Every structure is written in C-alpha cells, then in structure tokens.
Structure 1
Amino acid sequence: MSALGMAAALGGCGSTGSSDVTLKLVAADYGDSAANSSQKYWDKLAEAYEAKHSGVKVEVSVYSWNDVDRKVKEMVDAGHAPDMAQIGAYADYAAAGKLYQASDLLSIRTQADFLSQLADAGQWNHAQYGIPFGASTRVLFYNKTLFAKAGITPPTTWDELAADAKALKDKGVKYPFALPLGPEEAQAETMQWLLTGGNGGSGYTDDIGTYTIDSAQNVQTFTWLKDDLVGKGLTGPVAPGKLNRAAAFAAFADGQVGMLNGHPTLIQQAAQKGVKFGMVPMPGPTGKAKAAMGVADWMMGFKQNGHAKQIGDFLDFVYEQKNVLAFSREYGLLPVTGSASNAMSDSDSARDKDLHAFLDQLPTSQLYPVGKTSWAAVSAAVKNDIGQAVAPDGSPSAILTRLQATATTADSRTSG
C-alpha cells in the first residue's frame, strides 16, 4: 500500500533481464474472513503482473498477523528467506545485512512518491530498508447516541474528556472511556497518550531517537490517567491493564463505550452493529494534541536469492497508484504514497470520506521507533507492564522508570 511506481525500466512484455524467475512473497492477512482475505488481493495482483511479464512468476503465501512475523523468521533462520516479506518489522533483518536497500529495488519515481515521514521511518542506520505498505492513524471515536443522552459534546481538552466521561458514567454507561492497556496492543494506546501530553508530548523517544519513556511529561500524563480517569471509575469495570484493544472495540460496537481511541477498522465494525458515532482529533491537556500516532507495516526485499531487479520491477507495479488505492479501500487503511493519498483526499465516495479524518493526521503523525532494533523488546515490555502504572496501587513514575531502564539496556545491546 504505498507508492506510485511506474517502473520506467519495465518497457513491455517481460523484459526483466532474466527468464523463468519465481518470486516468493510472504504477506500478512488484513482480512477478517475468507471472503476478503489478502490472499485474494495478492493473487489478483500477481496474475495481472504475470500477464505482462512472461518470465516472472509471483507466488504469495498469506498468514494471519498472529503468525506471519514468526513464519518469516523461521524461513530466514532456516536459510530459505523469501524474496519479499510484508510484515510488521524490518530493522532486525536490516541490521543483520539480509535486506536490499529500497534504492537498490525501486524506481526513483516510486521512491519519491512515499510520504516522507513513512519513508524516514523505514530507515535503519540512515538508509531505507523498510518500504511502507499499509498505514493508519488514531482518532477519538465517540458514541453520538450516548453523548446526546448525557447532553455533552466531544472533548477538546483533557478536562473536558474527564467531564464527559463523568457525565456518561452518571447515565450508566458501562465504559465511559475505554482505556485498553492490556497486553494485546498496549504499546499503541500508550503512545497515543504520550503524544498528547504536556509540551506537545514526548512519545517513546526524543528527536534524535533516544528513549525518553520516563520523561517528566510522560510521568505527568500517566499520573493524570491514573488519578483523573481510572481512579475516578471512568474507564469501566475491567482494569485497563486487563482490557485488550479488540475487546474495547467490540464493546464500542455493542454500544457500551462512550469514547475510545480507534483506528479505521473500527468504522466498519461499529457501522455493522448500527452504532452512530463521530470522530474527532485526540485532545491534549489544553487543546488538540499536536501529533497523532501513526502506524505503518512494512515491505522488504531479501538479498538471499539475488532477484533485486525482478523484486524491484514487481514492487514498482505493487505501488502504482491504482493498486495502492485498491488495497487501501479494501482494508480501510491509509495510502502510504502522496499520489494515492491525494486521490483519496479528493474523493467524495462514502468509503474514502470515512478515512479523511485519519488522512488529515497522517502528515504530522509520529510512528513507533521501528528503525531501532531494540523496539521489539521495548514494545513487549510496555505491553506487559504499562497497565500497572494506572492500577490503584501503581506508581506511574516507577513503572515508566522501569520501562526506561529496559529500553536503555535493550538499546545498548542491539546497537553495540
């Protein structure tokens, strides 16, 4: 799901410089049923490519997000790396010298079309190895019906958010503000809050990539969450550390949640259940947050089989505008290229308009520090520990200090 690539070097039927090459791609499944499995998308795309490139076959294996990263790791460890993988992280493979740089694969036109902050996030050691594929941001979803009953309007500050949550609680809403800090995806909810904090929020790292998890702003943010939301019973009957994102989304779709941070897939999930909802930017302490959290998944090309030219030709095709838009629209994701983003922004179709709130935030969004090989260990620690920061006997300062120590240790190991 990413750039406009015309591959100037392609020129007609099958002139890829070699014949009878089979490219193997392992990809993640964005579908929620067999009917819309990503396998169907890739099979159709591969068939269209092969029709114009008779010397190249593309074999695609699609696995669930629960399995795909592990599957690729097993293949690489066994000495049978695929030619391409579309998965959640690239930095470990880049650091191990197993990946082509993006510039070794893609046409200049394709490279130039990526949204700059996504391309930058694909860098390891100042060179781009991760090619952005699918992107999303987060906005604040609210239940219009519950808000009307409580006589409230969407919040623009933290104080307003807490006041709205209290009004919803007083009306008997089960989850006035759902705060999923359970192990499924706590790193996402955490980062969203860190970015909204005082002085613009500090996220997980500073501007030069040093971990700043225990910064004063971050401690202040989690202290507010603990004292003003969780401590006042405004986050529902399940402790945030035990509430997973999927359960929170399901509760929103069932009409039991007043507000929560959500990504584009919640639109369809809620609409299917008939929930009337609105979407607004996540508030900060004194107004709209300066940055939203962005998430991108990654395409990468492995060196092992030596098919750089064929991989590049195929990826230039994958990132043509029409293909990027088709994938984005099928799975409710944001385009990672400027050309496709502009086309979606200019579109009046209902499906595209639903994504405009997320698209508006993408240019200024901040991503996980995915270019750091330590991020996987840090993310796992956040998932495991962050819920304790808002527990009744928890200490935000102590938990964030512990996570900072974990991050500093992991960073020194992986960079040393």
Structure 2
Amino acid sequence: MSRLLRTSRLFRPAARPGALAALAAAGALTLAACGTGSGSGGSGGAPDTLTEIDYYDAAPQNTQLPQILDECGVRNGVKIKHQQVPRAQFMPKLLQQASARSLPDLALIDNPDLQQVAATGGLVSLSKAGLSTEGLYPSIAQAGQYQGQTYGIAPGVNGLALYYNTDFFTRAGLEPPTTWAELAADAKKLTQGPRYGVAFSAVGTEEGTFQFEPFFWTARGNLKELDSPQAVKALTLWKDLVGSGSASKSVVTWTQADVNDQFMAGNAAMMVNGPWQLPTLNADKKLHFGVVPIPVPSPDAKPVTPLGGEVWTVGHSKPAREAKAVAVVKCLLSQDESAKWSKDAGYIPSNQRAAAQLASADPQLAAFVQEVGTAKARTTELGTAYPKVSQALADAIQAVLAGGTSPGSALSQAQSAAKN
C-alpha cells in the first residue's frame, strides 16, 4: 500500500541566506595556535611562501578553496602556492613525497587516507602544535588521529543521504522511504520508461565503497568480516535493485557526479549522494527535491554513514615554516572561514553546535546533520589497513552487479583478498 505523502517534508530548492549567519552565531573550533615564524627555508617555496596540495577538480570546491587560501595567506603574511592533483594520482604523489621528506607545507587529505600519511612520520602533530578538537563531533576528531595524536583537522565534513524528486513522488502518491523495504517498493513503482527509481555509485573504487558503506554499516556489517551475513544482506539489497531494473546496470561505472547528473536530468527519481551536490542542484530552479536520511533495514535502526570530507595537515619542514603553516591552518579552521567553506562548498561544520545551528537554518542539510551524530570514521575499525579492505569490497560489489557473482561468493573472495 502506498504511504500518504506528507507535504511538510517537501521543499523547493532555495538560496540559503540564513545558513552563514547561523554558523557565525554558533561558534567554531577552539583552536590555539603556536607562534608563527618567518616562513623562510624548508622544502619547496621561497621565503614567506607556503605550498599547498589538494585534489579538488570541480566546482564549487575548486573555486572556493583558492579564495579561502588567499585570504588566510594574506592574514598571515604569506603567499600560498596552490596545486591541484587528479584524485587518482593524489595519494601516490603524497606518499612518494612523504618518503622523500618533501611533503607540501599544507595538504588537504581525504580523512581515511590520513593515517597512511601520518604513519610515514612526515606530518606535524597538530596536538603538539597547540590545535584543539574541542567541540567537534567525536567521530570527526577521531578521523584525524593516528596513535593518539591529531595530525589532521576537518573544517567541515560530508556524508550521504537520500535525495528524492518531489514532483515524481507527489504524482505517485508516495512519501520518502525510511526502510529498505520501502526503498525497494518505491523504486519499483517510480521506474518508468527511461527513468529509474533510484541511482547510486557502484564504481570499482573507494567512491563505490563509500556509497555502499551506509547500507553495510546500518546492517551491522564489520569491515573486519566482509563475508558476514549482515554484509551479504546489504549487498543483496543492491543486487536486487539492479536486478529488478529499479536501478540502472550502469551504476557500476557511475561516479557520484554521474549519479547527480542522472538525477538532475530526471533519469532517476531518487539518488544516494552528498551535500556537496546542493549548490549545483539548487542552481536548477525547475528541479524540486527533498533530502532524507539513508533508509535502514528496520524501523528501529539508525543510519550509520561513512564520515566524508578532508582534513588539513602540515608537513614537516623547518620550525619557522611549520609554525607559519600551523597559523594558516588555524585561520582555515576559524569561525568565519569554516562557515564560508561549509556554506559555499556544501559541507557540514565539524563543530557540533555550529552544525545544529545550520540544520535549523537550512532544511536541505538537516538530514546530513542528523546522520553526522551516528557517522563512522572509515579508519575506525582498520586503521592503515582500510584502503586495502575498501578495494576488496569495491571489487566484490563489481563482481555482483557486473559479473553476476552471488553476494556470498563475492564477499567471501573479498574477505580472502583483504587478509592476504
């Protein structure tokens, strides 16, 4: 039976004029930086020049970040040389630089990769440098730690939620799904002609694993046991969505950006995606959508999503350069700059109070803020072993959705690969 549509959960995309003010009023990280030096000497860069590296290759992140870097550079009397490296090349380059003790002064690193870089000994302990994570969500603070020290701090984070086209739902007489059973039923009913009921990314990389983890963890799966009954249950859900035609077989090649394109084009009634898509979605005034938490296996369960987003790190060099870089990080994590970043780049503030204020001011972000409270850092269970296990899980997803392997067999192979 179709569930009656609750109109209070619908809204049209709109500008978010109150979000920045709410963040500014909320207060941000409690950060006390050590003194700055001259910024001369060290690895790469002229005196009073710092180097920075990240992998942002699309708007709004790649347009907003240089502006924020410039602002914090001016405040600290230093020029910041910005370098963008393609995502696939980013970690190999960074690890190579770490082994050569030539890391950039500043690096914005995906939080599950932080421990790998910290393990090389190439990063400055931000704890010892005087930066505090007081006020952050515990999972966010944990994501930047290695062996009890903080090496990275996130200015904002992201996660995954379920977007739905409110026009399609209204015409179908449906409300947004809250359970897996409702998700499957709604996706089937909303699949018509070229339009699929739901879209997600199952590409064979960390991106696909990231999209699958909300279902995996909410089913009480554990990354140390990829072939558990809970894991099989979660992957079976995805298999059934694709097998029934409610999701496209092309999900195995779609990135999250591709998924967003399909949703905007009206080729998917629902999609799993993150808050960073909101600026693009809101730019299309003809698109009407809502955002709700990821559906769960049973009504009493709570969604457990992977903690997304990057952390600012400082590379070892000379004391004066390190101090200058720490001062810049303090600026990047300040109330004003973190507010701008969260608003313009579609992120959730790392500070709990600021996030709560944002959720009240912006209903589009409320679901994401709700989920941050139960989100999990991807390295919590495995530490530096996470990337290997993540790839094994991504390979299993591909084997099931593209290769026809059963979820049980694919996950059994993944467990073996993760242990070797």
Q: TM-score, normalised by structure 1?
A: 0.82
Partner Cα separation in structure 1 for residue 209 and residue 188 of structure 2: 26
Partner Cα separation in structure 1 for residue 202 and residue 39 of structure 2: 51
Contact preservation (8 Å) 1:38, 1:62: no
Match of 1:13 in 2: none
Q: How many residues align?
A: 380
Partner Cα separation in structure 2 for residue 342 and residue 267 of structure 1: 18
Change in 2 beyond 3 A, CA 1:42/1:263: same
Could you list the per-position Cα deviations for residues 153-186 of structure 1 after superposition, in whole angstroms to 9, with x for gaps in the alignment? 21121111111112112x4352111132123521
Partner Cα separation in structure 2 for residue 267 and residue 18 of structure 1: 40
Stretches of structure 1 that go unaligned for 5 or more consecutive residues are 11-15, 51-56, 205-210, 410-416
Change in 2 beyond 3 A, CA 1:401/1:19: closer
**Deviation of 1:379 (Å):** 2.5
Secondary structure of the structure 1 residue equivalent to 2:309: strand
Contact preservation (8 Å) 2:72, 2:328: no
Match of 1:414 in 2: none
Could you list the per-position Cα deviations for residues 66-117 of structure 1 after superposition, in whole angstroms to 9, with x for gaps in the alignment? 244344334334442222211222212221222222211233xx33133221
Match of 2:335 in 1: 321
Match of 1:25 in 2: 52
**Deviation of 1:254 (Å):** 0.5
Contact preservation (8 Å) 2:124, 2:314: yes
Determine which of 98, 123, 146 is the counterpart of 1:124: 146
Determine which of 203, 206, 213 is the counterpart of 2:226: 213
Match of 1:168 in 2: 190
Q: TM-score, normalised by structure 2?
A: 0.81
Determine which of 105, 127, 137 is the counterpart of 2:159: 137
Match of 2:298 in 1: 286
Secondary structure of the structure 2 residue equivalent to 1:99: coil
Does 1:104 find its partner at 2:104? no
Stretches of structure 2 that go unaligned for 5 or more consecutive residues are 1-22, 41-46
Secondary structure of the structure 2 residue equivalent to 1:366: coil
Does 1:257 find its partner at 2:268? yes
Contact preservation (8 Å) 2:162, 2:270: yes
Determine which of 160, 164, 170 is the counterpart of 1:148: 170
Does 1:40 find its partner at 2:40? no
Contact preservation (8 Å) 1:25, 1:58: no
Partner Cα separation in structure 1 for residue 387 and residue 54 of structure 2: 19
Give the partner amino acid of 1:220: K
**Deviation of 1:385 (Å):** 3.6
Determine which of 278, 290, 299 is the counterpart of 1:267: 278
Does 1:7 find its partner at 2:28? no
Give the partner amino acid of 2:106: M
Change in 2 beyond 3 A, CA 1:150/1:358: same
Does 1:359 find its partner at 2:364? no
Contact preservation (8 Å) 2:218, 2:302: yes
Secondary structure of the structure 2 residue equivalent to 1:61: strand
Give the partner amino acid of 1:363: G
Partner Cα separation in structure 2 for residue 135 and residue 91 of structure 1: 17
**Deviation of 1:250 (Å):** 0.5
**Deviation of 1:49 (Å):** 2.7
Please tell me the root mean square deviation across aligned C-alpha atoms, in Å: 2.8
Contact preservation (8 Å) 1:100, 1:303: yes
Partner Cα separation in structure 2 for residue 250 and residue 30 of structure 1: 16
Partner Cα separation in structure 2 for residue 247 and residue 191 of structure 1: 19
Contact preservation (8 Å) 1:140, 1:279: yes
Give the partner amino acid of 2:185: A
Contact preservation (8 Å) 1:7, 1:313: no
**Deviation of 1:396 (Å):** 0.6
Identity of aligned residues (%): 25
Partner Cα separation in structure 2 for residue 407 and residue 128 of structure 1: 27
